[in-house]
Structure 1
Amino acid sequence: MSSTTQIPASRTFLSTLWYEANGIQKAAAVIGIALVLMALMAQVIAPFDPQQQSLLSRLRPPLGFERYKDGFWLGTDELGRDVLSRSIYGLQLTLGLALAGACIGLLIGGTLGLFAGLRRGWLEDVIMAAVDLQIAVPFTLLALLILALLGSTLPVMVCVLGIAGWEQYARIVRAEVRKITELPFIEAARASGGGLRYIAFKHVLPNIVSPLVVQFTLSLSNIVILESTLSFLGLGVQPPTATLGSMVGYGRDYMPTSPWMVAVPATLIILITFSVQILGDWLRDRADVRLRAR
């Protein structure tokens, strides 16, 4: 009887991922996990209410500078609100909006791409024409138009972010479905009497999960940038609710005298996009058999 202890498969997989990652990828993973935990625990770790004002404490610098006020480690804004607390809550809302938008884009684009790849004919032509139209029109301008007409409410903002990038999912899914449906096991499933729905859910979807996961991670950072851009222009989530982009937008007028108002949320935006992009590339390399075979 062997005395060797069997390591759980899940632990082996995670350990293998960590072992194969380079230093930058490991740093991105640590930063990403830290940001997610910070967002999830915002109500616990934020030292102050993000809306709490103290005009006597306005524009106080961070720790280590003259006029620093105890407790406000990263300084205060023009209304005396704690920049650290607002950044933590802004991180929570920014990540929440990005996740919701990416999920909506995945649902819309994945569904349309699946129909385009399986149905073919006029339906495929219509869907791909919509994809080409979406690519041809700069989405930032379209988003500005929608928000200007419908208002910058949270539901409208989620919908706008949701339709950003759906065409990427549609193109990827359509291309993958068309390749998969030409394989012999799909022909065997059709010959055995399998219907379109059975083939789609039983054989096609399980084989396109990897590229969808990679595209999902990559689109997250794009949506974070889009949300930050819209909030910077004043068309995102309206005050007093804070997002990272809106904090940068409202702090730009105070940059010459109070640069920490912009530096803190801008740093978080950079860290989000850095970690997500690096992890997305990492997942792509892991999922692409041709890249791993080199």
Structure 2
Amino acid sequence: MTMALSADRRSALRRLWTGTNAIQKLAFVIGLLLLLMAAFGPLLAAHDPNAQSLLSRLRPPLGFARAELAYPLGTDELGRDVLARCLNGLRLTLTLASLGALLGLVIGGLLGLLAGVAGGRTDAAVMAAVDTQIAVPFTLIALFTLAIFGSSLEVMVIVLGLAGWEQYARIVRGDVRRLMHLPFIEAARAAGAGPGRIAFTHLLPNIVSPLVVQFTLSLSNIVLLESTLSFLGIGVQPPTATLGSMVGIGRDFMPTAPWIVIAPALLIVLITFAVQVIGDWLRDSVDVRLRAR
């Protein structure tokens, strides 16, 4: 039975792979490579990402004059290994973005579920908060919050988690309002189920798919937001490296040492590309209306 189950899984994976186009396959491969680089970055890097060597500062990547074999992607203005900092920054950027997106999912999902089930004044209050979040540019909110509470990793996760919860709330609230009038909810009420049981047992399983899709789509936006904040100097503070902070610090050396910016910027582009394409693929796969066309 185990062999049959494994064969079924292999067959399902094969159908999944053959059912994607070339761009989607490329996105899956890039996403997998980025995850492996983030997971095994410390094993791949030969140097400490914060170790300085002023004698080796601004060394170019391999293939250029003055390059050193020990620094394949060159060094920055303080002689730190660009490869090691990219791997460390990739891990930290993906961690912050994932935790922030997960926090936004929890906050927005619970508020949307509460608004859809409770209705009335609760619904009006939640939607007023959603409208306020949409009306105010979130960059200003992030700048204000980080200026008051600092730029620690915990504060960064909270700030990134607040950067999109309203989208989850609107999606969940709309789906819950639609589902509340269906017969299986009426049957659950007739059987004596309370609002909490209806929300988490009957409603939540039916709205998981759009939440997963929204999670993947918002992840890339949070990566760009974290990079923007770090680029502006109010994100994760030195010497800890994120991809955005590396771009922000390296911009002053673009004319003489462009590799300091190119490597982390390319990783940001690859993350955004992979997550966006995979998110679009998930949306097309789980949306019955799109598959029926």
Fold-level similarity (TM above 0.5): yes
Q: Determine if the alignment matches structure 1 residue 276 to structure 2 residue 275.
A: yes
Correspondence list, 1:87-166, <5 A: 87-166=86-165
What is the DSSP-based 3-state SS (H/G/I as helix, E as strand, rest coil) of the residue aligned with 1:34? helix
Cα shift readout 1:203-248 (whole Å, capped 9, x = no counterpart)? 1111100000000001110000000000000000000000000000
Alignment match, 1:63: 62
Q: 1:197 to 1:5 in 2, by over 3 A?
A: closer
C-alpha distance in 1, partners of 2:278/2:64?
36
C-alpha distance in 1, partners of 2:184/2:277?
35
One-letter code of the match for 2:238?
P
Correspondence list, 1:241-252, <5 A: 241-252=240-251
132-141 vs 186-195, which deviates more?
186-195
Query: May I ask how many residue pairs the two structures share in their alignment?
Result: 291
C-alpha distance in 2, partners of 1:161/1:268?
19
Cα shift readout 1:133-188 (whole Å, capped 9, x = no counterpart)? 00000001110111112111111111100111000000000011111111111111
Alignment match, 1:230: 229
1:44 Cα deviation from its structure 2 partner? 1.0
Correspondence list, 1:180-259, <5 A: 180-259=179-258
Alignment match, 1:79: 78
- Structure 2 alignment gaps of length 5 or more: none
Q: Determine if the alignment matches structure 1 residue 26 to structure 2 residue 25.
A: yes
What is the DSSP-based 3-state SS (H/G/I as helix, E as strand, rest coil) of the residue aligned with 2:226? helix
Using structure 2 for the length normalisation, give the TM-score.
0.97
When the two chains are superposed, the root-mean-square deviation of aligned CA atoms in Å is: 1.2
One-letter code of the match for 1:235?
I
Alignment match, 2:52: 53
Identity of aligned residues (%): 67
7-16 vs 202-211, which deviates more?
7-16
- Structure 1 alignment gaps of length 5 or more: none
C-alpha distance in 1, partners of 2:46/2:175?
48
Q: 1:118 to 1:5 in 2, by over 3 A?
A: closer
C-alpha distance in 1, partners of 2:252/2:233?
13
C-alpha distance in 2, partners of 1:46/1:185?
55
Q: Determine if the alignment matches structure 1 residue 263 to structure 2 residue 262.
A: yes
C-alpha distance in 2, partners of 1:244/1:21?
30
C-alpha distance in 2, partners of 1:8/1:51?
47
1:5 Cα deviation from its structure 2 partner? 5.7
Cα shift readout 1:76-112 (whole Å, capped 9, x = no counterpart)? 0000000000000000000000001001000100000
